[in-house]
């Protein structure tokens, strides 16, 4: 029993260390950002940065990147939640239906920052987003937002750790592109 417990602790420690490692977006994702910026060019007033979220990675991997569009440089890489009803390790189910509490994907536009119900002090900040495609055009109505929290699952929002959440919002509020794939 002691050997089994030690093996479990070693595996858990490895998983924790693995989750702290930075990840890089795929080259095809960087190409997708360029394509979508052209496709929706009139939508993005803040086109300096884009947010990319890769839901093909499990929640314990860093799967959100803030990317500087002109250089394709990764400015920030962090963990982000998905909806608990979408799947355990990574989402396999997506919805655009209000009250579904399921993650959605596609191209979004960031809107304004607001005082959130989550976080404390100057970290109590959220950011609204608007879906630009048929598969996510109810995002604003569904109240899908960026806000701070520590858990791996949400009710559909994009939750990140509080200090990182503020950085994401400071970089991208008011008209940046978000791609969730």
Query: Can you give the CATH number for the domain in which 38 is found?
Result: 2.40.440.10
Under 8 Å between Cβ of 139 and 109: no
Residue 13 lies in a domain: no
Domain assignment of residue 85, yes or no: yes
Q: Specify if 83 maps to a domain.
A: yes
The answer to whether 146 and 129 are in contact (CB under 8 A) is yes
Domain of 142 in residue numbering reads as: 22-180
Non-local CB neighbours of 8 within 8 Å, separated by 6+ positions? none
Give me the number of domains the chain comprises. 1
For residues 99 and 153, the answer to whether their CB atoms sit within 8 Å is no
Residue 78 CB contacts under 8 Å (≥ 6 apart), including other chains: 62, 64, 160, 161, 164, 168
Helix runs in 21-161, H state only: 27-39
**What are 53's strand-pairing partners?**
64, 180
Angle at 55 between CA 114 and CA 13, to 5 degrees: 100
CB 178 within 8 A of CB 50: yes
For residue 2, being part of any structural domain is answered with no
Helix (H, G, I), strand (E, B) or coil at 24: coil
Distance, in Å, from the CA atom of 130 to the CA atom of 111, rounded to the nearest integer, reads 7
One digit per residue, the tens of pLDDT, for the chain of length 181 reads 665 544 444 444 454 555 778 899 999 999 999 999 999 999 999 999 999 999 999 999 999 999 999 999 999 999 999 999 999 999 999 999 999 999 999 999 999 999 999 888 889 999 999 999 999 999 999 999 999 999 999 999 999 999 999 999 999 999 999 999 9
Is there a domain that residue 136 lies in? Answer: yes
- The answer as to whether 164 is a domain residue is yes
């Amino acid at each position: 029993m002691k050997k089994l417990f030690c093996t479990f602790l070693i595996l858990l420690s490895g998983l924790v260390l693995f989750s702290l490692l930075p990840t890089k977006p795929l080259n095809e994702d960087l190409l997708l950002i360029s394509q979508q910026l052209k496709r929706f060019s009139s939508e993005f007033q803040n086109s300096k940065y884009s947010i990319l979220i890769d839901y093909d990675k499990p929640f314990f991997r860093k799967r959100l990147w803030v990317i500087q569009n002109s250089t394709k440089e990764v400015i920030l890489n962090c963990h982000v939640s998905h909806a608990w009803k979408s799947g355990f390790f990574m989402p396999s189910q997506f919805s655009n239906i209000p009250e579904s509490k399921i993650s959605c994907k596609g191209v979004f536009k960031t809107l304004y920052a607001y005082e959130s119900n989550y976080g404390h002090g100057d970290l109590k900040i959220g950011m609204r987003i608007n879906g630009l495609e048929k598969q996510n055009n109810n995002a604003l109505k569904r109240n899908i937002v960026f806000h701070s929290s520590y858990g791996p699952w949400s009710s559909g929002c994009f939750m990140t750790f509080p200090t990182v959440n503020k950085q994401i919002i400071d970089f991208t509020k008011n008209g940046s592109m978000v791609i969730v794939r």
